[in-house]
Structure 1
Amino acid sequence: MQTVSRVNKSVFRAFAQAERQQIACMSSAAEKVPLSRLEAEEYLNDRYKSLDERLKIVKKRLNTPLTLAEKVVYGHLDDPENQELKRGSSYLKLRPDRVAMQDATAQMAMLQFISSGLPKTMVPSTIHCDHLIEGTTSPQPERENNFGGEADLKFAVKNNKEVYDFLASAGAKFGVGFWKPGSGIIHQIVLENYALPGLMMIGTDSHTPNAGGLGMCAVGVGGADAVDVMAGLPWELKAPKVIGVKLTGKMSKWTSPKDVILKVAGILTVKGGTGAIVEYFGPGVDTMSCTGMATICNMGAEIGATTSMFPYNKKMYDYLAATGREAAAKLADQYKDNLKADEGAVYDQLIEINLTELEPHINGPFTPDLAHPL
């Protein structure tokens, strides 16, 4: 009897342990956060874990405070242990998290990807049909003398039917998300569905940095670069310099976030951001909305910047929650130290702007860096 009792106790303990493990696994699975509501098999948890592991290796090597830009870029190194890391000179091999393509550039990119022979893309990728839709402001004969959004969309769908059919079918076959004509502008769709703090995206459009308004390192590239990443190859980027823009105060009167980038353009000129990431920080950041920050990042293309970024904050949490991604925001909170610059981080150039004193600006003519305060 004693032997049976001991056996029973042993069995019960084994069952109890198995149950605890099962519950733990279920809990862990329940906490898994998908990259987007449309990509349930790709998890943000894995991306943040990878970012954290790579950063630990890099920090041990460099033993110096890092900017936000460096954290996100170095956190996507293909070989963090051996990669040379010198701003402005080293060529980095990186592993972006996703690819976004607009309809005008996606055609050749998809044709090239098909020739790779791969059954599907190696990273989450999307196609957005917006650039081939031409806007009109007066009656047009080819639009049956109509004009405006509805007529323009109808004409574009008819005029580009072959292109849209190809992109839709290729997307379906190779696992690429397809946003049909009329779905919206690529940059806004990305911001509302795919942009996440600390991740890296390349896009076949110069204004891809718009996603920096949610703390993403988003870089505009050519179609060939997009194909490499979709095929699972590392993406090469010259290690960017980092330009810091410290924002203090709070905007007032008629000033808007757009005036920030117009002011920066006047300071840096159209070539001043070349080979650099523009990183915004300081107490003034917390006074802006995510869409305002996205506008600033979007227009970083006008100064030649590789991309522009803002640190993760409460405004980003609120935006993620408002767009159905609060689970992602909560996870970002757990890694928030990786989503902002270290204390004492050094910038190659530092610009300071007091938002309280910033005036409304208009830039031009002929060049976006000819800034005029009103």
Structure 2
Amino acid sequence: MASVSATTPIELVERVYAALPGNVEIARDRLNRPLTLTEKILVNHLADPQNQELERGDSYADFHPDRVAMQDATAQMALLQFMTAGLPEVAVPSTVHCDHLIQAKVGAKIDLGVAVDTNAEVYDFLKSVSANYGIGFWGPGSGIIHQVVLENYAFPGGMMIGTDSHTPNAGGLGMVAIGVGGADAVDVMTGFAWNVKWPKVIGVKLTGTLSDWSSPKDVILEVARQLTVKGGTGAIVEYFGAGADSISATGKATICNMGAEIGATTSVFGYDQNMSQYLKATGREAIADAADKVSDHLRADHGADYDQLLEINLDDLKPLINGPHTPDLAHKVGAGVGEAARANDWPLVPSAALIGSCTNSSYEDITRAASIARQAAAKGLTAKIDLMITPGSEQTRATIERDGLLADLEAIGATVLANACGPCIGQWSRPESITSASNTIVTSFNRNFPKRNDGSPNTLAFVTSPDTVMAIALSGRLDFDPTVDTITAPDGTEVSLDAPVGQILPDAGYDPGEDTFTAPPADGHDVPIAVSPT
């Protein structure tokens, strides 16, 4: 039976780790060279480690992932397919997450209520099927699938598949997490191996340390600049080096999340103390302790060989803003994007600024944004354009509300949206008076191709860090550079913004907020499947 709860059972993790040393040794013997972390995790999830061909970019391999996650839009067809298999329950731990069907329009409470009413038949169907077949169900308001997975299910050295392209977010905890289609999810849920081409491995060596206005988001924007939107195709991007170890687990997740924008199969970081601390802060001390015992196998071997190698010195990395219409069109914040905007007739006064989503809604992200908001409020500044905040999960929302961070953001005019994908995936209702004309928006989201956010081809979307989004919202200018430019306060004084100050983890621990998880009953076979209309 598949064990499904609101977290990954330690027994599952221990089974993965028990097999890890032996399978790593098999791979070292067969390949006769040091291994990347990617290879260690993949070999440990092979159906046949002894005989499977291991040629990068050529061999097709059968894997057995540890779990499956599905968002509500793609889960519907996947579960209908699974129901035809005639099995009493799923073969691996699986979860459904209701995050895609909530439209942003007014604010969190009203928007969520409208979604619950509008999508009642979908939610009832997903909840009843989940109960019937042993699947965990995260209801509307729980948060975005990838953030919920990071907070509850991801673990170092694990392997999962999810029916959404940004499943690689879990790489922030050292997991090989791959976005797939519903048919692949059904294969795994029915107990079949998952077949896919053995990926190449692109290494990204990080040195130095991020500081001032530079953030983890700038790392992946720089990688996108170098590799382009197709540069990661057929490969897993593996980050390593002292610079990688200096980045928080949620910062690592931001970087891995946007690996989808360069076409990568997934992205992953090696296990370190930042991951251990995050696991403990989110109630998974036992998993951290287990990972510590096999930590050498949860990092690349010294001298591991990569198909391609990039090196980025974090000391030299400056804030970037990428777009519009493609995440690899990189500009330096300020004069760089300003010059491009004037050359291409992009509006320099944005119509909206948005912070959050699965990519950038961690406690650290929000504390940095709130630190800017506090100093702005103290100097009489408020947002000059619409500013919207999307918490990534109910746990994140409850924690940042408890700690006064939402109040800091609301004090400068921010609107808090529901814990859902919302504007990141086009679930954003905007007035035609705005979308009918050329307009720019700045977001800390992941994807910015035409029509992505509001369905309008006239909206030009730029992706950047939450810090830069906040600075642009306060200045009202796309070409604002917070490192050198000033903002005129209501009293006529010129205000400089100090660099943001963040806190990686909450001192008082995470507040779980409202319990939105429904575990399947021990025997849910008698639960009627809710189908409306019948």
Report the secondary structure of 1:80's partner residue: coil
Give the superposition deviation at 1:344: 0.8
State, as a whole percentage, how many aligned pairs show the same letter: 66
Give the superposition deviation at 1:62: 1.5
**Cross-structure match for 1:206:** 165
| CA contact 2:6–2:136 (8 Å) conserved in 1 | no
Query: Does 1:81 find its partner at 2:50?
Result: yes
**Cross-structure match for 1:97:** 66
Alignment of 1:240-251 (within 5 A): 240-251=199-210
**Cross-structure match for 2:90:** 121
**Cross-structure match for 2:318:** 359
**Cross-structure match for 1:162:** 121
Report the secondary structure of 2:244's partner residue: helix
Q: Deviations over 1:293-324 (max 9, x none)?
A: 00000000000000000000000000000000
Give the superposition deviation at 1:154: 0.8
| CA contact 1:209–1:220 (8 Å) conserved in 2 | yes
Alignment of 1:306-317 (within 5 A): 306-317=265-276
Report the secondary structure of 2:123's partner residue: helix
My pick for the range that moved more, 56-65 or 92-101, is 56-65
Report the secondary structure of 2:125's partner residue: helix
**Cross-structure match for 2:308:** 349
- Shift in alpha-carbon separation, 1:205–1:67, aligned structure 2, 3 A: same
- Alpha-carbon separation, structure 1, partners of 2:295 and 2:8: 23
Query: Which structure has the larger Rg over C-alpha atoms?
Result: 1
- Alpha-carbon separation, structure 1, partners of 2:321 and 2:129: 43
- Alpha-carbon separation, structure 2, partners of 1:41 and 1:199: 12
Alignment of 1:216-295 (within 5 A): 216-295=175-254
- Shift in alpha-carbon separation, 1:36–1:355, aligned structure 2, 3 A: farther
Q: Deviations over 1:79-132 (max 9, x none)?
A: 111111100000011010000000000001111111111111110000000001
- Alpha-carbon separation, structure 2, partners of 1:93 and 1:343: 27
- Alpha-carbon separation, structure 1, partners of 2:274 and 2:161: 24
| CA contact 1:204–1:226 (8 Å) conserved in 2 | yes
| CA contact 1:36–1:194 (8 Å) conserved in 2 | no
Query: Does 1:47 find its partner at 2:16?
Result: yes
Q: Deviations over 1:194-246 (max 9, x none)?
A: 00000000000000000000000000000000000000000011111100000
Alignment of 1:139-154 (within 5 A): 147-154=106-113
Amino acid at match of 1:208: T
Give the superposition deviation at 1:56: 2.4
Report the secondary structure of 2:276's partner residue: helix
TM-score using structure 2 length: 0.61
Segments of structure 2 that go 5 or more residues without pairing to the other structure are: 334-534
- Alpha-carbon separation, structure 2, partners of 1:188 and 1:360: 24
Give the superposition deviation at 1:350: 0.5
- Alpha-carbon separation, structure 1, partners of 2:100 and 2:142: 12
| CA contact 1:35–1:44 (8 Å) conserved in 2 | no
- Residue of 182, 191, 195 corresponding to 2:150: 191
- Residue of 307, 331, 342 corresponding to 1:372: 331
**Cross-structure match for 1:319:** 278
Amino acid at match of 2:35: L
Report the secondary structure of 1:43's partner residue: helix
Segments of structure 1 that go 5 or more residues without pairing to the other structure are: 1-33, 137-146
Any runs of at least 4 consecutive aligned residues in structure 1 with deviations exceeding 3 A, and if so which? Answer: 34-42
Amino acid at match of 2:54: L
- Alpha-carbon separation, structure 1, partners of 2:12 and 2:254: 28
**Cross-structure match for 1:12:** none
Amino acid at match of 1:96: P
Give the superposition deviation at 1:38: 4.4
Report the secondary structure of 1:244's partner residue: strand
Give the superposition deviation at 1:59: 2.0
- Shift in alpha-carbon separation, 1:182–1:120, aligned structure 2, 3 A: same
- Alpha-carbon separation, structure 1, partners of 2:212 and 2:229: 28
Query: Does 1:335 find its partner at 2:291?
Result: no
Q: Deviations over 1:42-63 (max 9, x none)?
A: 5311111123332222222122
- Alpha-carbon separation, structure 2, partners of 1:195 and 1:77: 19
Report the secondary structure of 1:206's partner residue: coil
**Cross-structure match for 2:387:** none
- Alpha-carbon separation, structure 2, partners of 1:35 and 1:281: 32
- Alpha-carbon separation, structure 1, partners of 2:58 and 2:202: 16
Report the secondary structure of 1:302's partner residue: helix
Amino acid at match of 2:74: T
- Shift in alpha-carbon separation, 1:311–1:362, aligned structure 2, 3 A: same
- Alpha-carbon separation, structure 2, partners of 1:256 and 1:41: 33
Report the secondary structure of 1:218's partner residue: strand
- Shift in alpha-carbon separation, 1:262–1:196, aligned structure 2, 3 A: same
Amino acid at match of 1:179: W
Report the secondary structure of 2:73's partner residue: helix
| CA contact 2:8–2:153 (8 Å) conserved in 1 | no
- Shift in alpha-carbon separation, 1:272–1:39, aligned structure 2, 3 A: closer
Give the superposition deviation at 1:39: 5.5
**Cross-structure match for 1:62:** 31
Report the secondary structure of 2:147's partner residue: helix
| CA contact 2:210–2:314 (8 Å) conserved in 1 | yes
- Alpha-carbon separation, structure 1, partners of 2:94 and 2:22: 24
- Alpha-carbon separation, structure 2, partners of 1:195 and 1:294: 11
- Alpha-carbon separation, structure 1, partners of 2:281 and 2:232: 32
- Alpha-carbon separation, structure 1, partners of 2:220 and 2:125: 38
**Cross-structure match for 1:112:** 81
Q: Which has the higher helix share?
A: 1
| CA contact 2:102–2:112 (8 Å) conserved in 1 | yes
| CA contact 1:35–1:194 (8 Å) conserved in 2 | no
Give the superposition deviation at 1:158: 0.9
Give the superposition deviation at 1:150: 1.1
Give the superposition deviation at 1:41: 8.5
